[in-house]
Amino acid sequence: MRVFSPRERPGSWADKKRGVTSAWALPFSKMEWGLEWAAFFLSNWKFLEVLEYLSSLSVLAAVLFYFSESGDRTKQKHYQAWQVINTAQGKGGSGGRVEALQELNADRVPLVGLDVSGAFLQGVRLKGARLLRANFSAVDARNGAFRHSDFTDANLHSANFRESDFHNVRFVRCDMNDADFWGADLTEADLTEASLERTDLRKTDLRGAHWRDIRSLKTANIYGVKNAPEGFVAWALKHGAVQIESDAQWGPNQ
């Protein structure tokens, strides 16, 4: 804030004029002398000081108003994100859903019951998301990041999750039939009562996965699984899983 201090009273024009040595400089000196008097009068005018204080107060009021309205702005941002998601429901492509989903999840908004079936969500980042009962059927979310998320009771039928990160994710009672998890990270994933019929699990990392209560693995392809828990491969093959490297020889729809 500007500090106002009264200026010294300027001298007379006669005194100012005596200091001018060149005739051409006389008009400029007179103008400067006039400005000195103007500055002198203004420096003693309290009205300007009051205006300066009011200006500072208006800035403070604007800052307080900004923070007081932050909750409403957040709600508006979330409403717009949901509008993007709901408007694109049932349609292919992204339609801005990747950014909208990531924005909501970053603000810790639950995504329970979300429907993004058939959407193009490659590379989506939804770490720690609450996706219970969500519909991800036929989604293309290759190279996605979902670690620590909860997909309990979700529909992942025919989804493409190739090379995605599902570290410590809950797939409890999920429909994962016909889904593609080739090369995905399923370390410490909870597959309790999940159905993985015809699911592509080739090259997946299963270190520490909870697999003993899987509902079905019929025709699931476990070729080249990494860090398989002790007993998993033998159990899976006994319950209908296969180990086939080639798509042509396996074919998830056979």
What pLDDT sits at residue 5? Answer: 56
The model's pLDDT over 93-146, given as tens digits with 9 standing for 90+, comes to 777 899 999 999 999 999 999 999 999 999 999 999 999 999 999 999 999 999
Is a pLDDT exceeding 90 seen at residue 9? no
Least-confidence region, from 9-23, 129-143, 214-228: 9-23
The residues, any chain, with a CB within 8 Å of residue 16's CB and separated by 6 or more, are: 10, 29, 30, 33
Is a pLDDT exceeding 60 seen at residue 203? yes
Of residues 90 and 137, more confidence is placed in: 137
The model's pLDDT over 145-201, given as tens digits with 9 standing for 90+, comes to 999 999 999 999 999 999 999 999 999 999 999 999 999 999 999 999 999 999 999
What pLDDT sits at residue 66? Answer: 47
Q: What is the mean pLDDT of residues 227-231?
A: 96
How many C-beta neighbours within 10 Å does residue 243 have? Answer: 14
Is a pLDDT exceeding 90 seen at residue 31? no
DSSP string, the chain: -PPP-PPPPP--HHHHHHT---GGGHHHHHHHHHHHHHHHHHHT-HHHHHHHHHHHHHHHHHHHHHHHTHHHHHHHHHHHHHHHHHHTTT-SS-TTHHHHHHHHHHTT---TT-B-TT-B-TT-B-TT-B-TT-B-TT-B-TT-B-TT-B-TT-B-TT-B-TT-B-TT-B-TT-B-TT-B-TT-B-TT-B-TT-B-TT-B-TT-B-TT-B-TT-SB-TT-B-TT-BSPPTTHHHHHHHTT-B----TTTS-TT-
- Does the pTM surpass 0.85? The reply is no
The residues, any chain, with a CB within 8 Å of residue 219's CB and separated by 6 or more, are: 197, 198, 240, 241, 242, 252, 254
What pLDDT sits at residue 74? Answer: 80
Is a pLDDT exceeding 90 seen at residue 91? no
What pLDDT sits at residue 254? Answer: 45
76 by Cβ neighbours in 10 Å (0-12 / 13-18 / 19+) ranks as exposed
* Cα 184 to Cα 190: distance, rounded to the nearest angstrom: 14
pLDDT band at 253; cut points 50, 70, 90: very low
Q: Are 133 and 115 in contact (CB under 8 A)?
A: no
The share of the chain scoring above pLDDT 90, in percent, equals 59
* Cα 15 to Cα 184: distance, rounded to the nearest angstrom: 90
pLDDT averaged over every residue in the chain: 84
pLDDT band at 16; cut points 50, 70, 90: low
Q: Could you tell me the two tokens for 133?
A: 């009962």
